[in-house]
Chains A and B, each alone.
Chain A
Amino acid sequence: MTKRHIEPLLWLLFSGGGVVAAVFLPILVVLFGLAIPLGWVQPDYDQLHAVVGHWLTRLVLLGLLVLMLFHWAHRFRYTLYDGLQLRRLDAPIAVLCYGGALVGSLAALLIVLTV
């Protein structure tokens, strides 16, 4: 019964995460996943440190990470239900997905508070 009540909230988190992933992730993957590690561009470390250390960056980063994790949780839950026909495992899958997103969100909170 409680699950019914939080379903709209979970959908909202999924939806918000979908928006931020669509808008922010392409540039972030290109920049931090490929261009910088492969040496196509070389940002100054002190500059990077200053950007990441700024309170506004940390706040935005926390929002992005939490929304993206819950986006994954919600969508992946239904991928397992429909794609792999695992409807019988409803409860454990939900616990695993949302629990994983919650643990990840707490880690993200810890990281932005201590970085």
Chain B
Amino acid sequence: MSAPATYRQPVSRLWWLKKRTYFLFVMRELSSIFVAWFAVFLMIMVVAIGRGEASYQSFLSWAASPVVVVVNVVALAFVVLHTVTWFALTPQAMVVRGPGGRWVPRIKEVRVAGRLVPAATVVRVGGRVPAGIVIASQYVGLVVVSAFIAWLVLR
């Protein structure tokens, strides 16, 4: 008798409605749709600006129409969700080291011509920047970039 190795329990297409964390995960994934939407929106805007003031004004009245405004309000909510979750995950995705670390000698095994031989090396230990600082510094970056763009456009 063969083992049922290929059996996979069927999962409902609505699995993501069953738990709050699943739901948030799917919302985070869906934020990409609004990232793409706003890329397209920006392209339409840049074309309109390039074509002259009349064209820019008709872009503005299109952008002020209820449907587009609602889409952009929803887009803002998804973009904020993206920013918050992306910043929160950064410390897990990469190790940021500050000046506190030190190098210590280690013996590692390396493969030379198919054989494992010991070799001396140095590895970095300690000095890891705490996750809270990594996250906070990203928000500082966000504020600086936002302030610069607002200044550039509105000055």
Contact = CB atoms under 8 A, between A and B. Distances in A.
Interface size class of A (residues with CB under 8 A): 35 or more
B49 A107 contact: no
A1 interface: no
A112 B42 CA distance: 11
Main secondary structure of the interface of A (DSSP, over half): helix
A72 B16 CA distance: 20
B145 A24 contact: yes
A19 interface: yes
Contact of A27 (B35, B46, B138, B145): B145
Interface residues of B, number: 50
A32 B86 contact: no
Contacts of B152: 51
Interface of B: 11, 13, 16, 26, 29-33, 35-36, 38-43, 45-47, 49-50, 53, 56, 60, 63-64, 68-69, 72-73, 75-76, 79-80, 82-83, 86-87, 138, 141-142, 145-146, 149-150, 152-155
Contacts of B73: 34
B86 A52 contact: no
Contact of B76 (A30, A45, A72, A75): A30
Contact of A24 (B11, B56, B149, B153): B149
